[in-house]
């Protein structure tokens, strides 16, 4: 049996989303526009927060890094996807494939823990407002951020070590548009039961721990909001969480659908649609969600524009 492994370092072939040239052209234009909006939106969000002093708070500190993560993991996937859509060459090197997978898992797992940190920040802001500045100190925020990256790195490293033991026999065709865990496991001729279990445990633990933190934070927030007597007070408290709740719902919904199941059951249709959504679309949506639904960001944009006009 001809086995493809680390020794031979073969190229993989990414089959992409469709064989139709017309559909490929449409998707390439669509994905290019989405990627441009993603880059401009996330860089814009980072610059707005950095330029406006009033946004130098823990909430926007985390939002800056959320924009960085969204920009990064979209960049890990989208340019290669565009290349495959626009050219006849669909090859990706063995190391290139595993590098893409490593950084994607790293950034996605880090985002899970970062969203948890943001939920905890909202919990402290609403449930313990008098102690907010003490609890959410710069040192503690930095520790939460560092922990997010560390846990993300552990998750991606374990994933890479497990995937590195697989053999790929006869076929090197990946039925997907990027190198993800599920299609690679589906392609392997190795006994993947133990590897699937380990990856499931780590991926499941990442999702479960972050979701428990988020759920506990919002249950406490909801309990506090219900105790507020004035309607305006309830609306103000809820508005500070609305953007984050929406971002969490979209991100976790697609992640759970795609990853918390048997990797051998990888479905070319539904799984690819979900993958497109969380790899290409969601990184574009987050800056739009936070800018369009957040009055502080809108006011910051107005202040920056007015300063620029005065400077001119």
CA 206, distance to chain mean position in Å, is: 13
Does residue 21 belong to any structural domain of this protein?
Answer: yes
Produce one character per residue of 230-243: b if its CB has 16 or more CB atoms within 10 Å, e if not: eeeeeeebeebbeb
Q: What's the sign of the alpha-carbon dihedral 160, 195, 116, 145? A: negative
268 versus 35: the higher-pLDDT residue is: 35
With 70 as the cut, is the pLDDT of residue 153 above it?
Answer: yes
Q: In this structure, what token pair is assigned to residue 91?
A: 């090859």
How much is the pLDDT for 130? 92
How much is the pLDDT for 278? 78
With 70 as the cut, is the pLDDT of residue 14 above it?
Answer: yes
Does residue 7 belong to any structural domain of this protein?
Answer: no
How much is the pLDDT for 10? 66
Out of 3-12, 236-245, 254-263, 294-303, the most confident range is 236-245
CA distance 113 to 119: 10
Q: What is the mean pLDDT of the chain?
A: 84
**Residues 71 and 280 sit within 8 Å (Cβ to Cβ):** no
With 70 as the cut, is the pLDDT of residue 270 above it?
Answer: no
pTM of the model: 0.86
Average the pLDDT over 94-119 and give the result: 93
Average the pLDDT over 135-158 and give the result: 95
CATH assignment at residue 225: 1.20.1070.10
Q: Pick from 172, 189, 186, 179: which is nearest to 156 by CA?
A: 179
Helix (H, G, I), strand (E, B) or coil at 159: helix
User: How many domains is the chain built from?
Assistant: 1
Average the pLDDT over 8-24 and give the result: 79
Does residue 194 belong to any structural domain of this protein?
Answer: yes
- State the residue range of the domain holding 244: 14-311
Phi, psi of 174 (to 5 degrees): -95, 120
CA distances from 257 to 42, 60, 153, 184, 312 (A): 25, 29, 22, 18, 51
How much is the pLDDT for 8? 46
Does residue 6 belong to any structural domain of this protein?
Answer: no
Does residue 227 belong to any structural domain of this protein?
Answer: yes
Q: What is the pLDDT of residues 191-237, one digit of tens each?
A: 888 888 998 898 888 888 999 999 999 999 989 888 887 777 777 77
How much is the pLDDT for 3? 44
264 versus 297: the higher-pLDDT residue is: 297
Does residue 1 belong to any structural domain of this protein?
Answer: no
Does residue 294 belong to any structural domain of this protein?
Answer: yes
CA distance 129 to 136: 10
Q: What is the pLDDT of residues 35-87, one digit of tens each?
A: 999 999 999 989 988 888 888 899 999 999 999 999 998 999 999 999 988 88
CA distance 176 to 183: 7
| Residue whose pair of structure tokens reads 């007597």 in the numeric block | 229
Does residue 2 belong to any structural domain of this protein?
Answer: no
Helix (H, G, I), strand (E, B) or coil at 177: coil
Average the pLDDT over 123-130 and give the result: 92
How much is the pLDDT for 155? 94
């Amino acid at each position: 049996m001809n086995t493809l492994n680390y020794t031979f370092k073969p190229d993989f072939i990414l089959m992409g989303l469709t064989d139709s040239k017309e559909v490929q052209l449409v998707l390439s234009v669509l994905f290019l526009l989405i990627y441009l909006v993603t880059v401009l939106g996330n860089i814009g969000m980072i610059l707005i927060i950095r330029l406006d002093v009033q946004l130098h708070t823990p909430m926007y500190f985390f939002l800056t890094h959320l924009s960085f993560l969204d920009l990064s993991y979209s960049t890990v996937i989208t340019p290669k996807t565009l290349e495959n859509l626009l050219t006849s060459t669909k090859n990706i090197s063995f190391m290139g494939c595993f590098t893409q997978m490593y950084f994607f898992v790293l950034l996605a797992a880090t985002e899970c823990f970062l969203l948890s940190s943001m939920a905890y920040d909202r919990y402290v802001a609403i449930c313990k407002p008098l102690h907010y500045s003490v609890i959410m100190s710069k040192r503690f925020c930095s520790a939460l951020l560092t922990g997010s990256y560390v846990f993300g790195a552990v998750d991606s490293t374990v994933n890479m070590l497990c995937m590195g033991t697989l053999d790929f026999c006869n076929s090197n065709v990946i039925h997907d548009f990027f190198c993800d865990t599920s299609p690679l496991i589906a392609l392997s001729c190795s006994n993947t039961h133990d590897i699937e279990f380990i990856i499931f445990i780590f991926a499941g633990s990442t999702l479960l721990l972050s979701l428990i933190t988020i759920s506990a934070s919002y249950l406490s927030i909801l309990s506090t909001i219900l105790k507020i007597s004035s309607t305006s007070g309830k609306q103000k408290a809820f508005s500070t969480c609305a953007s984050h709740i929406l971002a969490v719902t979209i991100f976790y919904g697609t992640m759970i659908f795609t990853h918390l199941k048997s990797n051998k059951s990888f479905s070319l249709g539904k799984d690819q649609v979900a993958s497109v959504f969380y790899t290409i679309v969601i990184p574009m949506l987050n800056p739009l969600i936070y800018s369009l639904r957040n009055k502080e960001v809108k006011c910051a944009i107005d202040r920056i524009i007015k300063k620029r006009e005065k400077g001119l």
